[in-house]
């Protein structure tokens, strides 16, 4: 497995070794010992989510009030997504900055993001499916949102899907009404 720390401390890209033959492909997409060696901590799994999206569906930016915070390990099992990580940790030298990784069903990359980081997924193909492992069960009282199109963040969203076809963004009403970074009331 190849592991690369992203530009946002507390987030990593994991690229598994793919083992293929006439039967298909096998990959270890998460291995606790490798994870702990690189990240320097364990990952306690409390919930697993699966989401399928049409091309252009943008989910997020979502984050969990920290504390308690929620860490995520995200893997695409079908199709392709742009996975975006945003630093929302007050006092962090990279606060308000972002990084992204294309996760898909070819390279089978995964993204880990620690507590305090925001997360968004943009589907780059119809019927794209993602699975994410979560360190905290869904708790609506801690659930928070941030506007993915906030110009202060300056996220460079792709204009075309995986095949070069123009994307039309689709967001939930909740995500479309999310506050901007300047309006967040984060603890100091």
pLDDT along the chain (188 residues), means of 10: 97 97 95 96 97 98 95 98 97 96 98 98 98 96 97 97 96 98 79
Q: What is the pLDDT of residue 184?
A: 86
Domains recognised in the chain with CATH numbers: 2-183 (2.60.120.10)
Q: What is the pLDDT of residue 185?
A: 75
- 62 catalytic? Reply is yes
| Integer Cα distance of 84 and 11 in angstroms | 10
Q: Which of 63, 73, 132, 163 is catalytic?
A: 132
The model's pTM is 0.95
Q: What is the pLDDT of residue 188?
A: 54
Q: What is the pLDDT of residue 159?
A: 96
Q: What is the pLDDT of residue 81?
A: 98
- For 37, 148, 153, the CA distances from 180, given in Å and listed in that order, are 36, 8, 9
Q: What is the pLDDT of residue 157?
A: 98
Q: What is the pLDDT of residue 187?
A: 64
Q: Classify burial at 42, counting beta carbons within 10 Å of its beta carbon; exposed 0-12, middle 13-18, buried 19 or more.
A: exposed
Q: Which of 62, 63, 73, 119 is catalytic?
A: 62
Comparing C-alpha atoms, which of 80, 117, 119 is closest to residue 102?
A: 80
Comparing C-alpha atoms, which of 131, 146, 149, 139 is closest to residue 183?
A: 146
- 132 catalytic? Reply is yes
């Amino acid at each position: 497995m190849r592991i690369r720390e992203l530009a946002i401390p507390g987030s990593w890209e994991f690229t598994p070794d793919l083992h293929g033959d006439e039967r298909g492909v096998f990959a270890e997409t998460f291995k606790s010992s490798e994870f702990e060696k690189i990240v320097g901590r364990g990952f306690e799994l409390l919930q697993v989510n699966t989401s399928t999206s049409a091309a252009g569906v943008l989910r997020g930016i979502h984050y969990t009030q920290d504390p308690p915070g929620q860490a995520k390990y995200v893997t695409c099992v079908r199709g392709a997504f742009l996975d975006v990580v945003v630093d929302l940790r007050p006092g962090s030298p990279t606060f308000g900055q972002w990084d992204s990784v294309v996760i898909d069903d070819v390279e089978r990359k995964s993204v880990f993001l620690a507590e305090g980081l925001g997360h968004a997924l943009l589907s780059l193909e119809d019927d794209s499916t993602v699975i994410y492992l979560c360190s905290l069960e869904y708790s609506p009282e801690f659930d928070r949102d941030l506007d993915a199109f906030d110009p202060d963040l300056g996220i460079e969203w792709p204009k075309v899907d995986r095949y070069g076809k123009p994307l039309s963004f689709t967001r939930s009403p909740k995500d479309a009404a999310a506050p901007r970074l300047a309006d967040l009331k984060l603890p100091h």
